[in-house]
């Protein structure tokens, strides 16, 4: 009878094979994308702690940055193991997780001064949370454009695509029953791997920009290191131009 240890070993051995194939086909630079994203999360956390030493007891966003390390660890595993649908759905979760926290921080007069207050405020307003609030309003602050429709055209398609991986959509089913057979197993799939990297770049660019627009004093330390935002070049370019924070 197979023990739990035997089962885990067989799973991990299979994942290692998938990871080796990802490295061989994509190259180590692309295959290790989430290593750089993880390092960005660490650097952002240290920069926030230096620039805002007392903010962790007041800002829900600062506290959540720590939790992102675990999320990114699992994204790395999902990517190398070949579970792209789960990874894509989790990207949508991370996007909304951080934007909800920022909404609570920005609405402190309503939500209250402490992390616990903000958590309770979000709980009371949970049913109203989604694209219209807080995603779209925060994007409008990040990317000033002539009208709301421009923001919709730029970012709503990404939001809608990631939603397809949260629900049992036709797009998700198509991905699962393609040649790689992801409905039945984890496997390397070059097309889906590149799709996952594309959307991961978009989401983490938005997440990092939003956090640092809210906490601009953390930017100088981050911009002084050329290795930070290696996989998110738009973040560095926009931070160098920005004045922040959110009004």
What's the CA gap between 187 and 18, in Å, rounded? 6
Exposure string for 130-158, b = 16+ CB within 10 A, e = fewer: eeeebbbbbbebbeeeeeeeebeeebeeb
* The predicted structure's pLDDT at residue 55: 85
What's the CA gap between 56 and 63, in Å, rounded? 6
* The predicted structure's pLDDT at residue 207: 97
Domain coverage including residue 213: 4-241
* The predicted structure's pLDDT at residue 179: 79
* The predicted structure's pLDDT at residue 138: 94
Instruction: Say how many domains are in the chain.
Output: 1
State the pTM of this model: 0.94
Assigned domain for 247 exists: no
Assigned domain for 150 exists: yes
Assigned domain for 118 exists: yes
Assigned domain for 178 exists: yes
* The predicted structure's pLDDT at residue 58: 87
Cβ within 8 Å of residue 46, ≥6 positions away:
221
Assigned domain for 246 exists: no
Assigned domain for 234 exists: yes
Assigned domain for 54 exists: yes
The one-digit pLDDT tens for each residue of the chain (247 residues) are 567 788 889 999 999 999 999 999 999 999 999 999 999 999 999 999 999 998 878 899 998 888 899 999 999 999 999 999 999 999 999 999 999 999 999 998 999 999 999 999 999 999 999 999 999 999 999 887 767 788 999 999 999 999 999 999 999 999 998 878 898 999 999 999 999 999 999 999 999 999 999 999 999 999 999 999 999 999 999 998 887 776 5
| In the block, residue with structure tokens 């709301």 | 148
Assigned domain for 167 exists: yes
* The predicted structure's pLDDT at residue 2: 64
* The predicted structure's pLDDT at residue 33: 98
């Amino acid at each position: 009878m197979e023990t739990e240890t035997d089962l885990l070993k067989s799973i991990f051995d299979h994942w290692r094979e998938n990871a080796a194939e990802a490295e061989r086909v994509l190259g180590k630079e692309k295959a290790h994308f989430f290593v750089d994203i993880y390092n960005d999360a660490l650097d952002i956390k240290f920069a926030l702690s230096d620039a805002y030493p007392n903010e962790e007891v007041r800002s829900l966003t600062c506290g959540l940055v720590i939790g992102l390390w675990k999320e990114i660890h699992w994204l790395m595993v999902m990517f190398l193991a070949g579970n792209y649908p789960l990874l894509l759905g989790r990207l949508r979760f991370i996007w909304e997780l951080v934007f909800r926290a920022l909404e609570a921080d920005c609405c402190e007069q309503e939500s209250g001064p402490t992390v616990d207050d903000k958590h309770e405020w979000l709980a009371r307003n949970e049913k109203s949370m989604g694209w219209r609030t807080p995603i779209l309003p925060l994007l409008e602050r990040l990317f000033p454009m002539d009208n709301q429709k421009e923001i919709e055209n730029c970012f709503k398609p990404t939001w809608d695509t990631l939603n397809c991986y949260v629900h049992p959509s036709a797009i998700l089913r198509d991905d699962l029953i393609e040649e790689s057979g992801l409905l039945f197993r984890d496997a390397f799939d070059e097309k889906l791997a590149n799709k996952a990297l594309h959307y991961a770049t978009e989401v983490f660019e938005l997440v990092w920009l939003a956090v640092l627009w809210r906490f601009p004093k953390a930017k100088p330390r981050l911009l002084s290191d050329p290795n930070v935002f290696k996989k998110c070049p738009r973040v560095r370019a926009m931070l160098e131009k920005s004045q922040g924070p959110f009004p």
